[in-house]
Amino acid sequence: MSNPKQTYRVCFCFRRRFRMAAAEAPEDIKSLFQQYSENGFMSADDLRRFMVEIQKEKSTTVEDAQAIINSLQHLNIFHRRGLHLDAFFKYLFGDINPPIDTSRGVHHDMTAPLSHYYIYTGHNSYLTGNQLSSDCSDAPIIKALKSGVRVIELDIWPNSTKDDVDVLHGRTLTTPVKLIKCLRSIKEHAFSASEYPVVITLEDHLTTDLQAKVAEMITQTFGDMLFSPGGDKLTELPSPESLKKRVMISTKPPKEYLEAKVHAEEKNSKEGKQLAEEEAWGRDLDAKSRTSDADNQDDGEDDEDNDNDDVDHKSQQIEAPEYRRLIAIHAGKGKGGLDDWLRVDHNKVRRLSLSELELEKAAQTHGKNLVRFTQQNLLRIYPKGTRVDSSNYNPLIGWMHGAQMVALNMQGYGRSLWVMHGMFRANGGCGYVKKPDILLKAGSNDDVFDPKAILPVKTRLKVTVYMGEGWYYDFRHTHFDTYSPPDFYARVGIAGVPADSIMKKTKTLEDNWIPTWDEEFEFPLTVPELALLRVEVHEYDMSDKDDFGGQTCLPVSELREGIRAVPLHSQKGEKYKFVKLLMRFEFI
């Protein structure tokens, strides 16, 4: 096969030519092929041995191996005697060999209470862009539901004539969308990606008569789909299994509209501090607290304080009773501080909301209390008010403390959101991931998991980054460099508890569309149940920021051992058509 040449124009009279190398099997792959083949061909029985011993797919039969061989018939490389090296390499680097087995579908136990699951949660789900001036629309809600998001947040306000209900980010320049339009879109798309329940969290800024109107809208829109305990507070949360194809409403018990408005305006005056500038693809994750004085103020958008019995009693006198009956999961904070907020009442369950800053402070002083609270109740975390650009925070801080609803801005992008995508690739992408047992159980003396504890290493993940390809087809040929092919390097690491979180990088390979790094990395894991494998590719740029070349994030608990083709995604999380890496995963 002759290698084509690629020409780059350096100036009007001078051109540089580079030979385009074809993808070639790395030495490891050639060696394994020799080991598992005879006379240059790998039979179905040979392939079965390779699948069992190297790919760790113990239940593979000769028939399974033959089906893989048959699946390559459409290629010119098919041979009746089996796979030769080129066909074997194409199989390993093909879509048929992904790093996660999507055919498993939902495989976690779905019969435990909702508090036992991480739930795919959006923040201000109706915004199309930034938090201050973007349009409000049902389009991002539809997109979120189609991608498997299970918790949709709506801020509801009286419209300009005070006779209907709008969804918008209050006291900003965001243009509103009608609540009824959002509700109808939720109904239409709620179960397009997953049949497990959708929770609608309402930020309520309404008068009593408009609350009654909302109750009518919700009842008429969802009908029998609505799960409502009829105003009684739940003593235990139902399971995702029992709530299939159901919609739940979660909000704080209503308060007088003016009281809420005054409180919110006081908080709003503290907003607007500028965020630290982030890299084009988002600042790197850090599981440790990293806040500055400028950040230490919240927008109070979700402030659910004063949910104590006195206020509860008062609110019942001024609220629409039909609205209260719709609330399946009551939210509230209580008057006291963290000790009061995190108090566990075995006679009722509730939802507590904390900002990312409140969570970071609580994690320092009340880490075990957070874990204990989330074994029975729901904890929702939301971004601080200064994130006006719709950026996000590290979701692992919430997850390692048991928080089920870690709410991110889905309209943003960056590393935090990539980690969120990775977490919810688990369990068939159904939007519910069972929390690890360490977060669900109390040990001797009623002791619970301590996220700050340094634990012994449980397992080691060895990752080999062989090579990558596909950029030549997914990007313009001058996208990375005007005058030469790209200089790629890969970053590989772990997002998890602080002791496990690390990033490493390969060498940079110059002027190569098909980089072959062939490098090994080892990651000791103390809490592998919470670990996510992060993979990024960048193009080295001497004079400017390095260019982005793709990313993915994969739950370590679902990684398939062996040699796998790992598809990469764009900054926005969209899968590229051709870009992928050939990698090997081993637990040692």
Under a CB-based contact definition with an 8 Å cutoff, are residues 254 and 306 in contact? no
pLDDT at site 311 = 37
How many whole angstroms separate alpha carbon 490 and alpha carbon 467? Answer: 9
**126-129 contacts: CB < 8 A, separation 24 or more?**
126/153, 126/154, 126/155, 126/167, 126/168, 126/177, 126/182, 127/169, 127/174, 127/390, 127/409, 127/411, 128/411, 129/390, 129/411
pLDDT at site 274 = 34
- Is the pLDDT at 322 greater than 70? The verdict is yes
Tell the residue number behind the tokens 């500028």, with chain if given.
274
How many whole angstroms separate alpha carbon 364 and alpha carbon 362? Answer: 5
Lowest mean pLDDT of 214-223, 282-291, 398-407, 499-508, name the range: 282-291
Q: What is the mean pLDDT of residues 556-567?
A: 98
Lowest mean pLDDT of 64-73, 79-88, 161-170, name the range: 79-88
How many whole angstroms separate alpha carbon 385 and alpha carbon 50? Answer: 53
Nearest to 424 by CA among 554, 245, 244: 554
Say how many C-beta atoms besides its own lie within 10 A of residue 419's C-beta.
22
pLDDT at site 316 = 44
Judged on CB neighbours under 10 Å (0-12, 13-18, 19+), 344 is: middle
Which residues lie closer than 8 Å to 323 by C-beta, 6 or more apart?
211, 212, 214, 215, 254
Nearest to 552 by CA among 527, 530, 523, 572: 572
The mean pLDDT of the chain is 87
pLDDT at site 298 = 44
**Read out DSSP for 126-178?**
TBSS-TTTSBB-SHHHHHHHHTT--EEEEEEEE-TTSSSEEE--TTSSPBPEE
Nearest to 494 by CA among 518, 528, 469: 528
How many whole angstroms separate alpha carbon 421 and alpha carbon 414? Answer: 11
Please give the structure tokens belonging to residue 280.
């084009």
Which residues lie closer than 8 Å to 187 by C-beta, 6 or more apart?
221, 222, 225, 247
Q: What is the mean pLDDT of residues 189-198?
A: 98
Q: What is the mean pLDDT of residues 179-195?
A: 98
In 247-283, which positions are buried (b, 16+ CB within 10 angstroms) versus exposed (e)?
Answer: bbbbbbbbbebeebeeebeebbeebeeeeeeeeebbb
**Read out DSSP for 464-505?**
EEEEEE-HHHHS-TTSS-SSS---EEEEEEEESSTTT-EEEE
Q: Residue 94 gets which letter from DSSP?
A: S
Confidence of residue 321 (pLDDT cuts 50, 70, 90): confident
How many whole angstroms separate alpha carbon 462 and alpha carbon 522? Answer: 4
* Rounded alpha-carbon distances, angstroms, from residue 217 to 182, 213, 317: 11, 6, 22
Q: What is the mean pLDDT of residues 530-544?
A: 94
How many whole angstroms separate alpha carbon 72 and alpha carbon 199? Answer: 44
- Is the pLDDT at 17 greater than 70? The verdict is no
Confidence of residue 230 (pLDDT cuts 50, 70, 90): confident
- Is the pLDDT at 273 greater than 60? The verdict is no
255: three-class secondary structure by DSSP: coil
pLDDT at site 15 = 58
With vertex at residue 339, the alpha carbon angle to CA 337 and CA 344, rounded to the nearest 5 degrees, is 125
Please give the structure tokens belonging to residue 428.
């068939």
Confidence of residue 287 (pLDDT cuts 50, 70, 90): very low
How many whole angstroms separate alpha carbon 114 and alpha carbon 440? Answer: 12
pLDDT at site 11 = 54
- Is the pLDDT at 32 greater than 50? The verdict is yes
pLDDT at site 547 = 95
pLDDT at site 270 = 42
544 or 448, which is more confident? 448
Catalytic site residues? 123, 169
- Is the pLDDT at 144 greater than 80? The verdict is yes
* Rounded alpha-carbon distances, angstroms, from residue 2 to 5, 467, 573: 10, 21, 36
Tell the residue number behind the tokens 């109750």, with chain if given.
215
pLDDT at site 16 = 60
Under a CB-based contact definition with an 8 Å cutoff, are residues 381 and 361 in contact? no
315: three-class secondary structure by DSSP: helix
Tallying the residues shown for the chain, one arrives at 588
Q: What is the mean pLDDT of residues 2-29?
A: 66
Nearest to 192 by CA among 226, 148, 227: 148
- Is the pLDDT at 356 greater than 70? The verdict is yes
How many whole angstroms separate alpha carbon 472 and alpha carbon 475? Answer: 6
- Is the pLDDT at 6 greater than 90? The verdict is no
Under a CB-based contact definition with an 8 Å cutoff, are residues 575 and 147 in contact? no
Q: What is the mean pLDDT of residues 373-386?
A: 96
How many whole angstroms separate alpha carbon 244 and alpha carbon 574? Answer: 28
pLDDT at site 336 = 84
313 or 14, which is more confident? 14
- Is the pLDDT at 443 greater than 90? The verdict is no
558: three-class secondary structure by DSSP: helix
Sign for the CA dihedral angle at 85, 91, 94, 99 comes to negative
Confidence of residue 52 (pLDDT cuts 50, 70, 90): very high
β partners of residue 492: 504, 535
pLDDT at site 71 = 87
How many whole angstroms separate alpha carbon 566 and alpha carbon 563? Answer: 10
Nearest to 440 by CA among 116, 118, 120, 109: 116
pLDDT at site 254 = 60
- Is the pLDDT at 294 greater than 60? The verdict is no
Q: Report percent pLDDT > 90 for the chain.
A: 74
How many whole angstroms separate alpha carbon 194 and alpha carbon 216? Answer: 26
Confidence of residue 257 (pLDDT cuts 50, 70, 90): very low
Please give the structure tokens belonging to residue 13.
């009279």
